[in-house]
């Protein structure tokens, strides 16, 4: 059974949050607030948080900058995962992946379906690894960010979560 092994130490990791939006600013960024609050409450740190427009070059530059920072373990983006003409986040980030994490999208959609029903199919959320940095591409709603964190990411970034978690494999990401 999945569980938290309280006998193990907790190891915090460092996050960056990138909000992709043409309309949000620091005052109206509820998704960023949702993620930041949950990440910090779980005992982790946020080293960077920014808002970029729904433009490929801006998205790519923000992700590349954070991947280049060895202090950042995880990047979470929020926004631009739908089907409109300006929704280009997955299209921009997926080609950057060294390894895809197909299971994340499958689990996210299962969680999301329980909350919003079949509307979950309107999200092209994705995840993968760029170098040694985990990257999660979430929808832009605070609810989707809450669901992804509370039902998936909080456990996978808790070093005490069993039977396995991302924290325990982080030292091995550079193996050849």
Secondary structure string (H, E, C) spanning 123-160: CCCEEEEECCEEEEEECCCHHHHHHHHHHHHHHHCCCC
Give the span between the Cα atoms of 97 and 128, in whole angstroms: 6
Question: What is the architecture of the domain spanning 21-38+46-160?
Answer: 3-Layer(aba) Sandwich (3.40)
Give the span between the Cα atoms of 118 and 139, in whole angstroms: 15
Return phi, psi of residue 82, to 5°. -85, -150
Domain range annotation of the chain: 21-38+46-160
| pLDDT tens for the 176 residues of the chain, in order | 999 999 999 999 999 999 999 999 999 999 999 999 999 999 999 999 999 999 999 999 999 999 999 999 999 999 999 999 999 999 999 999 999 999 999 999 999 999 999 999 999 999 999 999 999 999 999 999 999 999 999 999 999 999 999 999 999 999 98
Q: What is the pTM of this model?
A: 0.97
């Amino acid at each position: 059974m999945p569980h938290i092994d309280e006998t193990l130490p907790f190891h915090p990791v460092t996050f960056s949050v990138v909000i992709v939006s043409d309309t949000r600013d620091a005052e109206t960024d509820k998704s960023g607030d949702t993620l930041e609050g949950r990440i910090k409450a779980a005992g982790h740190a946020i080293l960077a948080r920014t808002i970029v427009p729904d433009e490929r070059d801006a998205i790519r530059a923000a992700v590349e900058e954070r991947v280049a920072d060895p202090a950042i373990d995880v990047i979470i983006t929020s926004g631009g995962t739908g089907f409109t003409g300006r929704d280009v986040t997955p299209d921009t980030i997926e080609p950057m992946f060294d390894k895809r994490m197909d299971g994340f999208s499958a689990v996210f959609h299962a969680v999301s379906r329980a909350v919003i029903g079949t509307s979950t199919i309107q999200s092209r959320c994705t995840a993968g690894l760029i170098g040694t940095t985990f990257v999660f591409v979430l929808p832009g709603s605070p609810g989707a960010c809450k669901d992804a964190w509370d039902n998936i990411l909080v456990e996978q970034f808790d070093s005490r979560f069993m039977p396995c978690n991302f924290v325990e494999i982080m030292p091995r990401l550079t193996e050849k």
